[in-house]
Amino acid sequence: MAKFTYSDDVRVRTEAPAPLRAGEAGSVIAVFETRPEGSYFADFPPGVVYAIEYADGAAVDVHEDHLEPAE
């Protein structure tokens, strides 16, 4: 079950890989509890993947383990 849902404000954990912009806040724009077929999602560990959008409009897919609620 997903910890976050659409429009939730989240922050990328500080220990996340640099390309995910560790420490930055964003908003959930998609939730992938069931993953589509294909190799893209196979690169993520098991669990929920979220698409988040940063304030500057950039978006990235992030595994749930790398996110926390924004304060």
Structure confidence by residue, pLDDT tens digits, 13-39? 999 999 999 999 999 999 999 987 888
Kindly report the pTM of this predicted structure: 0.93
How far apart CA 71 and CA 60 sit, in angstroms, is 20
Residue range 39-54, pLDDT digits in tens: 899 999 999 999 999 9
Q: What is the pLDDT of residue 24?
A: 97
> Is residue 52 situated within a structural domain?
yes
Give the distance, in angstroms, between the CA of residue 28 and the centroid of all CA atoms in the same chain. 7
The answer to whether residue 37 is domain-embedded is yes
Total structural domains in the chain? 1
Which residue from 25, 69, 66 is spatially nearest to 49, judged by alpha carbons?
Answer: 66
Question: What pLDDT, on the 0 to 100 scale, is given for residue 59?
Answer: 97
pLDDT at 39: 83
Check whether 2 has a pLDDT greater than 90: yes
* Residue 37: both structure tokens together: 């077929």
Residue 39 lies in a domain: yes
> Within a domain: residue 49?
yes
**2 within domain boundaries:** no
